[in-house]
């Protein structure tokens, strides 16, 4: 199956996860894609194909060499972001993009313009897959799944390419931070792996944010506003005070590169009660811990002011994988070399986010992140250049080839 057709087939299947669910997977619809990929894996002849009750799918491409080659893995995730609907996704291919505005939805006058998204201009002349403006596209991470499955089919069709044992794995609920929760690293059995979950072509990442979530509940006191003096305690105003205590120049919209932030992701409530949700991010572990203390101290200050009306739930989510990948830097070097050999310029950069690979690295499976090719994830302006999709799959094949080539060399 052509990689574009494969991706479009996957994209049409709704797999949106749900952060309010306590089940694994958080939505049963993720099984719809999992079962489709399981079927493909069996039909193409992969071995050890297993789909468990938690929607983790694993399979093996057996080695075609007698040499002692490290077992490598490739991982992607089934779910799409809760930030925007993934139902009735209608992908469309813009042929040989000309650098002008793209009308995603004429009826709703939804336009994707290089004036707003200048990265479009890096893909002039290429075929680009876009949405119809009503949903996200789902390249995060259905592009990664398509790339891995297409690479496995290519290696099966080209037995002249020597490779060791390759394990592939697909997870649920990555977008809500639970993708690695029930991933069986021992069962997976790889020496190291790569998540195919990056963005722009050439991206290679082995540094990511340290991450925590903060949920704050505020109990106010509501009385008739005409008789409120000295009695009313407005939970919404306390929420605003908390927001003001955190630095306004340390938010996602004002930071880049290695700069961390506090990100308010939800605020709702009434005079009587209010709830805020934050995510806290920083690449530097000491700065990350300092940010958490800043949140704690801000809540403590308001509790002292208003009489213990705030309740804070603070949870670490994942840590910077650099700590675990640096000691085995050769796994990054293989990806770097593979990109160069297929004509892609590697761009090593920190992830301003996280992947399954971050947590897997701390679970004993070093796992850098490789580009999947999509852009503007999690919204209606998401797009996927076809050459980027194809190159990512070629990188997978080349990594497998390079690892086997090195293992077969005389010095080994």
For 357-388, how does the pLDDT look when each residue is reduced to its tens digit (9 = 90+)?
A: 889 999 999 999 999 999 999 999 999 999 99
Contact yes or no for 54/24 (Cβ under 8 A): yes
Residue with tokens 């057709």: 5
pLDDT digits (tens, 9 = 90+) for 234-243: 999 999 999 9
Residue 47, SS3 per DSSP: strand
CA angle at residue 96 from 93 to 102, to 5 degrees?
A: 60
Q: What is the pLDDT of residue 409?
A: 54
The whole-angstrom distance between residue 323's C-alpha and the CA centroid of its chain comes to 19
Q: What is the pLDDT of residue 408?
A: 64
Q: Which two tokens stand for residue 174?
A: 């990555």
Cα separation, 138 vs 143, in Å, equals 8
Q: What is the pLDDT of residue 411?
A: 47
Domains (range + CATH), the chain: 3-207+320-408 (3.40.630.10), 210-318 (3.30.70.360)
Cα separation, 18 vs 155, in Å, equals 35
- Residues carrying an active site annotation: 79, 174
Report, as ranges of residue numbers, the positions in the chain whose pLDDT lies below 70.
Answer: 408-412
Cα separation, 137 vs 68, in Å, equals 41
In this structure, the strands spanning 369-371 and 192-198 are: parallel
């Amino acid at each position: 199956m052509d990689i574009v057709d494969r991706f479009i087939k996957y994209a049409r299947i709704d797999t949106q996860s749900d952060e309010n669910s306590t089940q694994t997977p958080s939505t049963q619809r993720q099984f719809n894609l999992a079962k489709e990929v399981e079927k493909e894996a069996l039909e193409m002849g992969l071995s050890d194909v297993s789909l468990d009750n938690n929607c983790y799918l694993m399979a093996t491409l057996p080695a075609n060499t007698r040499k002692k080659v490290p077992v490598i893995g490739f991982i992607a995730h089934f779910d799409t972001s809760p930030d925007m609907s993934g139902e009735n996704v209608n992908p469309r291919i813009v042929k040989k993009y000309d650098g002008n505005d793209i009308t995603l939805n004429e009826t709703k006058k939804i336009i994707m313009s290089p004036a707003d998204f200048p990265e479009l201009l890096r893909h002039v002349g290429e075929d680009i897959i876009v949405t119809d403006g009503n949903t996200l596209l789902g390249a995060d991470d259905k592009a990664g799944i398509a790339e891995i499955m297409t690479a496995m089919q290519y290696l099966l069709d080209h037995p002249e390419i020597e490779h060791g044992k390759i394990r592939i794995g697909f997870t649920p609920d990555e977008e809500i931070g639970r993708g690695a929760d029930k991933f069986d690293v021992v069962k997976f059995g790889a020496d190291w792996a790569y998540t195919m979950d990056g963005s722009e072509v050439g991206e290679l990442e082995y540094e990511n944010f340290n991450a925590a979530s903060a949920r704050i509940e505020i109990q106010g006191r509501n009385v008739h506003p005409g008789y409120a003096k000295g009695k009313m305690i407005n939970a919404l105003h306390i929420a605003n005070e908390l927001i003001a205590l955190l630095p306004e120049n340390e938010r996602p919209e004002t930071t880049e590169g290695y700069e961390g932030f506090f990100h308010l992701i939800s605020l709702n409530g009434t005079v009587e009660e209010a709830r805020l949700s934050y995510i806290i991010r920083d690449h530097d572990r000491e700065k990350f811990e300092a940010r958490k203390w800043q949140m704690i101290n801000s809540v403590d200050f308001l509790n002292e002011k208003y009489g213990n009306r705030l309740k804070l739930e603070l949870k670490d989510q994942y840590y910077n994988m650099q700590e675990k990948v640096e000691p085995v830097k050769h796994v990054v070097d293989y990806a770097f070399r593979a990109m160069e050999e297929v004509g892609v310029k590697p761009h090593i950069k920190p992830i301003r986010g996280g992947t399954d690979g971050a947590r897997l690295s701390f679970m004993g499976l070093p796992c850098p992140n490789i580009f999947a090719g999509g852009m503007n994830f999690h919204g209606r302006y998401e797009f996927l250049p076809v050459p980027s999709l194809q190159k990512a799959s070629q990188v997978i094949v080349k990594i497998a080839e390079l690892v086997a080539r090195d293992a077969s060399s005389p010095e080994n």
